[in-house]
Chains A and B, each alone.
Chain A
Amino acid sequence: MTARPNSPSAARRWLKGSAARATGLALLTALAMGASYAGAPDERTVQIEGGAWRSVLPTGTARDSVTVKPYRLDRRPVTNAEFLAFTRAHPEWRKGHVPVALADVGYLRHWAGPLELGRAALPDQPVTSVSWFGARAYCEARGARLPDWYEWELAAAASETQRDARDSSDWQQRVLSWYSRPSNAPLPAVAAEKPNIYGVHDLQGLVWEWVEDFNALMIGADSREQGDPDLLKFCGSGALSIQDRENYAVAMRVAFLSSLQAHDTTINLGFRCATN
């Protein structure tokens, strides 16, 4: 699966320049800013071994699992404070400076100003209202990347005691009950809940999270039979393209991600970074 950024070509050129600038700055920034938003790799991230993974997505082959290479994943979502430090170093990602092709008008809507969090955005809360482009630029600036869906799904399937808790009714009910609560209350701080067995916090129950290949989640396994890229958007065909039909909890996250475009922002959508 690969991402398909869907921005106009002008925006892509801008992004390319921006990404180059960001990458160029990354080393310098990492040195200059230190832990303020980059963090020491070992504290900030955790090693996950990967291996054979039974995704809810169809594999496109006769096998029912895919192979996930070892990777490192952030222990917690990126916070407002960390994203503020990033925008200080990267003026092109400040609120009010980003073309709408890269972030819609809701970008950082709860911040008081371009370099000011204000009362509606506490430093320890996960940053939200960031587009996929913005999330990606942040991770790049840190020398990291967004996790892909399989990496995210594998880590998020864990409970405090099990690596794959998806069949547990407790795990499912906990995820579903978070889904059923509207986002009309202030978000808690990151890492307020216990980490899962890998030592990762907040994969469920805090915010939605971007993944690198969110835009590819709609591609059916067999394009001859399921060529419609909108499969999940209506009725039963969506359910049919999910391997584990009873696992609504994960399917709903796929549905959420598939409703997005790369420049979209929502007040309950944040992100975390990964590295190889």
Chain B
Amino acid sequence: MQAPPDTGGSARGDFGPPQGEPIKAELASPPQVPPPVHRKAPAKVIVELEVREVERPIAEGVTYTFWTFGGTVPGSFIRVRQGDTVEFHLRNHPTSKMPHNIDLHGVTGPGGGAASSFTAPGHESIFTFKALNQGLYVYHCATAPVGMHVANGMYGLILIEPPEGLAPVDREFYVMQGDFYTVGKYREKGPQPFDMQKAIDENPTYVLFNGAEGALTGDHALQAKVGEKVRLYVGNGGPNLVSSFHLIGEIFDKVRYEGGTHSQENVQTTLIPAGGAMIAEFHTEVPGTYVLVDHSIFRAFNKGAIGLLKIDGPENKAIYSGKEVDNVYLGDAAVSAQPVAAAAQAAAAGTLTREQQVAAGRTLFNGTCSVCHQDNGEGLPNVFPPLAKSDFLLADRARAIATVLNGRSGPITVNGNTFNSVMPPMSQLNDDEIANILTYVLNSWGNNGGQVTAAEVAQVRKATPRPEGAAH
């Protein structure tokens, strides 16, 4: 591999005075990115950015007062061309409590513009800089206490395109990670104030993409199609944590690490420093849901650092088959899987009997359930509830099905005894398997018989959607 030529940095970034009429920059709110510049000469570009202090959800049922550039976290995405002269207007909304300013890491000059943009509520500051270095840069508020302004969401990205622009792609997205510090615990409901001590201790309550749990999931998931080239502009606002950015199920074909000029290829996980950024590119081949995480993985599953990328299009079994076989692996307790296969065949043929279900269910139960509930269905006193003659189990079939599917936690009373334990969701089992297990349970250990069908399980599964990405 040959290294790309040296760009020459700022010493070779001045392409002369701006030409033509001033242009008003088109800004974009995350996860959108403004269109490419497509300009051959340096111009004067006017950027107007408004600071607003807004209270909005940080997680479901939890609100937080964010300080924002442009009303969003992260702030509006700014896109200019190397050599452009940028006239920057920073406006601080009259309802702001605080003065604010902006330090753009793409600015050459003391404070990155901070001293020139210090703006009281209800006022505007203007300063001008020439974008001498190409690259992807973080901007942030630098008003004392800087950490608090950043922790409240005051950061965003400015892309300074190389003079020839970036190679065209099919999709571009804007994602930024940040850590948040609230007085209440993770997902504790209600308005949550900023907790300075947690911030000093670098012990965040939330680690988030785009400023809220769910900002990039559900209806807000990023969308692409099979066969497309996707480019992610990813920044890390901090204030404290370094991100181990990873996209589950994809490999980045190319990463312009640290937002600079050179790139690494074939990258699984890339570090993004606090106050840094990177550009990742990849090509999509297989449809499905891909998960953006900070691979410091407790942050992803316990503090909110999850986003989704949904790729639509035709399956490509030659590259990825999807699940072909889901065999029970019994290890030392190997029992013939024959009854399971027989039941599956009979179910497909529409000739499944209760006896076949019980036989298959026994095998599956011994592989999956008996560890806790025991071979004899008696459970363990005070730890795992019994299934044998269990009033809780027999009272509600739909609840029994839902319990297998979704798990259960918290106190329950079974046959007069209280249990307070956790059962993990068993949603990896298919409808036939769950029906067979429950039919076996209903016909064992003195229980009163009965038969659960795959159709019943399917109905319950449909009625209780699980959060996307949760099965990972």
Contact between B54 and A182 (Cβ–Cβ < 8 Å)? yes
Cβ distance A215 to chain B, nearest Cβ, rounded Å: 13
Bound Cα distance from A27 to B54, whole angstroms = 46
Contacts of B93-140 to chain A: CB distance below 8 A: 94-99, 101, 103, 111-112, 114-115, 118-123
Complex: A230 Cα to B148 Cα, angstroms:
19
Indicate whether A239 reaches chain B with its CB closer than 8 angstroms. Answer: yes
Q: A173-B193, A177-B193, A180-B194 are in contact. Are A266 and B94 (CB under 8 A)?
A: yes
The reply to whether the CB of A265 lies closer than 8 angstroms to some CB of chain B is yes
When C-beta atoms are compared, the residue in chain B nearest to A104 turns out to be B123
| Residue picked from B65, B101, B122, B152, most chain A C-beta under 10 Å | B122
Tell me if B65 and A180 are in contact (CB < 8 A).
yes
Considering only CB atoms and an 8 Å cut-off, how many residues of chain B contact the other chain? 36
Contact B122 A233 (CB under 8 A): no
Q: A172-B196, A236-B146 are in contact. Are A182 and B65 (CB under 8 A)?
A: yes
A252 adjacent to chain B (CB < 8 Å): yes
Return chain A residues, CB-CB under 8 Å to B101: 233-234
A-side interface residues, number (CB < 8 Å): 39
**A122 in the interface, Cβ–Cβ < 8 Å?**
no
Q: Mark contacts of A148-182 with chain B using CB atoms, 8 A cut-off: 1 yes-contact digit, 0 otherwise.
A: 00000000000000000000010011001111111
A182 touches B142 (CB 8 A): no
| Residues of chain A with a CB closer than 8 A to B53's CB | 182
Q: Does A48 contact B (CB under 8 A)?
A: no
**B121 CB contacts on chain A under 8 angstroms:** 183, 266-269
Is A255 in contact with chain B by the CB < 8 A criterion? yes
| Residue among A181, A235, A236, A254 having the largest count of chain B Cβ atoms under 10 Å | A235
A182 / chain B contacts, CB cutoff of 8 Å: 52-55, 65, 95-97
The reply to whether B114 and A234 form a contact with Cβ atoms under 8 Å apart is: yes
B446 within 8 A of A: no
Whether B146 lies near A266 (C-beta < 8 A) is: no
Q: How far is the CB of A152 from chain B (nearest CB, A)?
A: 18
Chain A residue nearest to B99 in the complex (CB): A259
A209 at the interface (CB under 8 A from B): no
Q: A96: which B residues are within 8 A, CB to CB? A: none
Measured between C-beta atoms, what is the minimum distance from A105 to chain B in Å?
A: 10
Q: Chain A residues with Cβ under 8 A from B193's Cβ?
A: 173, 176-177, 180
A183 to chain B: closest residue by CB: B95
Q: What chain A residues lie within 8 Å of B148 (beta carbons)? A: 176, 248, 252
A232 in contact (CB, < 8 A): yes
Binary CB contact string for chain A from 41 to 76 against chain B (1 if under 8 A, 0 otherwise) = 000000000000000000000000000000000000
Report which of A173, A183, A251 forms a contact with B97, defined as CB distance below 8 A: A183
Interface centre among A178, A179, A234, A265 (most CB of B within 10 A): A234
A235 touches B111 (CB 8 A): yes
Q: Are the C-beta atoms of B94 and A267 separated by less than 8 Å?
A: yes
A5 is an interface residue with CB less than 8 A from chain B:
no
The answer, yes or no, to whether A238 is at the interface (CB within 8 Å) is: yes
Residues 225-248 of A at the B interface (beta carbon under 8 Å): 230, 232-236, 238-239, 242, 246, 248
Asked if A252 contacts B111 (CB within 8 A), the reply is no
Closest to B123 in A: A264
Q: Which residues of B contact A179 (CB under 8 A)?
A: 97-98
CB distance from B379 to the nearest CB of A (A): 47
Identify the A interface with B (CB < 8 A): 104, 106, 169, 172-173, 176-184, 230, 232-236, 238-239, 242, 246, 248, 251-252, 254-256, 258-260, 264-269
Closest 5 CB pairs of A and B: A259-B99, A234-B114, A182-B53, A234-B111, A238-B144
Q: A176-B196, A248-B148, A266-B120 are in contact. List 4 more A-B contacts (CB 8 A).
A: A233-B142, A235-B142, A235-B146, A265-B122
- Chain B residues within CB distance 8 Å of chain A: 52-55, 65, 94-99, 101, 103, 111-112, 114-115, 118-123, 142-146, 148, 152, 183, 193-194, 196-197, 200
Instruction: Give me 8 A-to-B residue pairs in the complex whose CB atoms sit less than 8 angstroms apart, sorted by A's number.
Output: A177-B194, A181-B97, A184-B95, A233-B115, A234-B115, A234-B142, A256-B120, A259-B143
